[in-house]
Amino acid sequence: MGAEQVAERFAELYGAPPQGVWAAPGRVNLIGEHTDYNDGFVMPFALPHKTIAAVSRRDDGILRLHSADIEGGVAELRLDALAPQSDDSWTAYPAGVVWALREAGHGITGADVHLASTVPTGAGLSSSAALEVVIALALTDLYDLGLQRWKLARLCQRAENVYVGAPTGIMDQTASACCEDGHALFLDTRDLSQRQIPFDLAAEGLRLLVVDTQVKHAHSGGEYGKRRAGCEKGAALLGVDALRDVPYAGLDEALARLGDEEEIVRLVRHVVTENHRVERVVDLLESGDPRAIGPVLTEGHASLRDDFRISCPELDLVVDTALAAGALGARMTGGGFGGSAIVLTEAAEVDTRTKAIEEAFAKAGFTAPRIFEAVPSAGARRLL
């Protein structure tokens, strides 16, 4: 699927070629899970998988939306009728972006949109952010809004939180909007300051496999909200704005102060150690020792499984099998309860690892996983 194809389909649907074609990628989070709503650190990189949108302006207050990936015709929405949580179909994501831009005072007067994506949905690879960011970037260009990338990400997060009604952090949208080819993005979610960290796997003789377990997560569901509320309670009990403010060196003392709040202790321990893991991975990559991040990734998985308790048998099986077969490190990635895991391995061992995981899934009677290599790729951009 390429930009030209998406433009051609747009012309068929709407009777004229689009004014432009844009792309925004899905992402994998290398390390820093469930830290973003705690004002902490994350380290995603963009995938080559992307959502491509062909878009033209309209000036009559109408938004027309079509997705090649969804059955059904063109949806037509009136801008003055857009209202938070009024739409439980896919159109809420792009409509939410238009709503958020208008709420922020930008004079969007309508658009025609046709899009197609290679980002698997509901796999923890952030197809929702890819969809939001591609629309936001297209409208920024077409309406000459001059919005900076980080600002665009904020508006997309607002669309997802308020309009769609899914309580997600800022990582996914920032990754899709700001990542660079051959780099991972070290992002401080408190002030959105960022640093591009060289992460050229191929040059190092390494590969990172993404294993999509095909177990669907329910992101806006109760478990995510419970973890988030638990983290907020932990911060309140410790008298800090966010768990980000609990220093790693002061963790034991903080946990002691939480006393017999066992569940809160586990959540706090995960967030504080996870922030520390992100900093360790940054140091290791910047000092040119990418293989050494493997054990840190694996530690991260144990923390998500045992302390945060958001893994599932399929994700654990990927990690256990990959490590038993000699991978450098492995962990679940994304919101949890399904979705994808990542495996860091020597390039020469890709086939061995893949086969071991496929066999283990077959033996356990699980649905066959989808396995692909993740190459750190470019963030959102205009294609045509």
Q: Which of 172, 200, 306, 307 is catalytic?
A: 172
User: Which tokens sit at 49?
Assistant: 């998988």
Round to whole Å and give the CA distance between 370 and 94: 27
Residue 32 in marked binding region: no
Residue 34 in marked binding region: yes
157 binds Mg ion (CB under 5 A): no
Closer residue to ligand ADP, CB minimum distance, 126 or 213: 126
Round to whole Å and give the CA distance between 5 and 56: 16
Closest CA relative to residue 272, chosen from 294, 255, 257, 295 = 255
Instruction: Work out how close the CB of 89 gets to ligand ADP at its nearest, in angstroms, rounded to a whole number.
Output: 7
| Residue 161 interacting entry, from ligand ADP, Mg ion, none, C-beta within 5 to 8 Å by type | none
Residue 124 in marked binding region: yes
117 binds Mg ion (CB under 5 A): no
Q: Which stretches of the chain bind ligand ADP, using CB under 6 A? A: 51, 67, 69-70, 90, 93, 115, 117, 121-128, 131, 219
Q: Which residues lie closer than 8 Å to 88 by C-beta, 6 or more apart?
A: none
Instruction: Work out how close the CB of 180 gets to Mg ion at its nearest, in angstroms, rounded to a whole number.
Output: 21
Where are the alpha helices (H) located in the chain, listed in sequence order?
3-14, 92-103, 127-142, 149-158, 171-178, 222-238, 251-258, 262-286, 293-303, 313-324, 350-364
Closest CA relative to residue 369, chosen from 347, 353, 346 = 353
Closer residue to ligand ADP, CB minimum distance, 66 or 269: 66
Closer residue to ligand ADP, CB minimum distance, 37 or 269: 37
Round to whole Å and give the CA distance between 369 and 291: 25
Q: Choose, by CB under 5 A, the member of 117, 128, 333, 354 that binds Mg ion.
A: 128
Stretch 76-115: interaction string toward Mg ion, x if CB under 5 A: ----------------------------------------
Residue 122 in marked binding region: yes
Round to whole Å and give the CA distance between 326 and 344: 10
Secondary structure element (H or E) that encloses residue 345, with its range: strand 340-346
Please confirm, yes or no, whether 316 is among the known catalytic residues: no
| Residue 51 interacting entry, from Mg ion, ligand ADP, none, C-beta within 5 to 8 Å by type | ligand ADP
Residue 107 in marked binding region: no
Closest CA relative to residue 96, chosen from 106, 104, 107, 85 = 85
Instruction: Work out how close the CB of 122 gets to ligand ADP at its nearest, in angstroms, rounded to a whole number.
Output: 4
Q: Which residues are catalytic?
A: 172
Binding region for Mg ion (CB under 5 A): 126, 128
